[in-house]
Structure 1
Amino acid sequence: MIIRLLATGAALALLAACSPATEAPETGATETAEAPTADMAPAFTLVDAEGVERSLADFRGRTVVLEWTNEGCPYVQKHYEAGAMQALQREATGDGVVWLTIISSAPGQQGYVEGEAAREWQSRNNAAATHLLLDPEGTVGRLYDAKTTPDMRIIDPEGRLLFVGGIDDRPTNKIEDLEGANNYVKAALTDMEAGRPVATPFATPYGCSIKYADELDGA
């Protein structure tokens, strides 16, 4: 895996300030005053499921969504089995947004895929992201202080982080709870398209902890 990283101190400080998430439903995504302040998103390069290097810089001038995922996580399964995540991916990419799904699970751990398995993941889940990026060392996940699956980021065309955190306000793994949920990613993209400030720039993430290589003993 080839990973090249460049990050400003300001961006790292921003992301470190995000509240830690937990797998317990009662600590779900909520609006909070701990909001991003439009710092620049850290640069990165990862290899995708096709073996091609993809850099954040390649998409400068376009809105970019980052989605951390893990197929074995029931909170991720809620969104994918219902087709909700794929529908949002299609809606966003149809509007010209670049959607980058990232897997930061360590080798041998829940959610880890590579090569053909990564391509099968895309087909099996009917995923509609622009690219599936592989981060087995967890370098980019840590760079963005990603805590859970799912965990979301939105980057504007100038490279600024405008949304960080949980995908919605229903921190459960039950498909039926998607009905009536406030999807913060969808709302933020709508705000951006309308030229408005993002109303909810931060939401506490919820879901399964990301299976980072040096955190497996406590996972």
Structure 2
Amino acid sequence: MALTPSNMLPLGTTAPSFTLIDTITDKPISLEHTKGTHGTVVMFICNHCPFVIHVNEGIVKLANDYQAKGIGFVAISSNDVVNYPADAPYLMKLNAQKHQFPFPYLYDETQEVAKSYDAACTPDFYIFDNDSKLVYRGQLDDSRPNNGIPVTGNDIRTALDALLNGEKISESQKPSIGCGIKWIQ
């Protein structure tokens, strides 16, 4: 498996709008619906990627810790489900239920949302402020499957804490690394 890093969308970019089907509720969910009062975390994930599987519990804990503080969360899967059937929407729903996702898990069938965010890998993380401007993009933390470093979410937690405290978020941000998004051919 080849490792793919984030493309690192320019800071200050306005969050691209979307409306996608939430695989948990089967209802359309928009970016506006997922926004928090203080900011929003947009995550590109999938069911089968070992890098995502490695951090699933960590992203659930992160969302549970920060949603009460006014941070919205949404996860999106944009993988080609014809060639990667483990990422099919009905399995996304089962995965979300298994891990008790406290956020919508949306299916980007056309891959247009992933392209608009310049998403490259799973997991890929973006934090937008309350004006929908990008303030962080990159890794959850330094943990990777089999590297022995525990999943803490430190990089995103540091950025979210700075956002909530009105402090400047460091522009020195490490790209996320994972499986490349499975693009439709």
TM-score, length-scaled by structure 1: 0.73
Q: 1:146 aligns with which of 119, 143, 149?
A: 119
Change (3 A) 1:56 1:62: farther
Q: 1:191 aligns with which of 150, 162, 166?
A: 162
Contact 1:69 1:150 in 2 (8 A): yes
Contact 2:48 2:87 in 1 (8 A): no
Q: Tell me the C-alpha RMSD between the 2 structures.
A: 2.4
Q: Separation in 1 of the partners of 2:65 and 2:126?
A: 17
Contact 1:23 1:208 in 2 (8 A): yes
Change (3 A) 1:77 1:203: same
5+ long unaligned stretches in structure 2? none
Contact 1:162 1:198 in 2 (8 A): yes
Whether 1:206 aligns to 2:177 is yes
Matched residue type, 2:3: E
Contact 1:104 1:141 in 2 (8 A): yes
Matches within 5 A, 1:4-153: 23=3, 36-49=10-23, 50-58=25-33, 59=35, 61-80=37-56, 83-108=57-82, 109=84, 111-114=86-89, 116-128=90-102, 130-153=103-126
TM-score, length-scaled by structure 2: 0.85
Q: Separation in 2 of the partners of 1:164 and 1:51?
A: 28
Matched residue type, 2:170: A
C-alpha deviations, 1:65-122, integer Å up to 9, x for none? 0111122111111112xx22211121121222111011111122154222x4332121
Q: Report the 3-state secondary structure (helix = DSSP H, G, I; strand = E; otherwise coil) of the residue aligned with 2:149.
A: helix
Contact 2:125 2:139 in 1 (8 A): yes
**Which residue number in structure 2 is paired with residue 9 of structure 1?**
none
Q: Separation in 1 of the partners of 2:9 and 2:71?
A: 22
Change (3 A) 1:141 1:162: same
Shift, 1:187, TM fit: 1.0
Matched residue type, 1:208: C
Q: Separation in 2 of the partners of 1:201 and 1:159?
A: 20
Q: Separation in 2 of the partners of 1:120 and 1:164?
A: 28
- Name which one, 1 or 2, has greater alpha-carbon Rg: 1
C-alpha deviations, 1:39-70, integer Å up to 9, x for none? 21111111111221111133374411011112
Change (3 A) 1:111 1:69: farther
Change (3 A) 1:168 1:111: farther
C-alpha deviations, 1:133-167, integer Å up to 9, x for none? 11122110111011111100011111111111222
Q: Between Structure 1 and Structure 2, how many residues are aligned?
A: 180
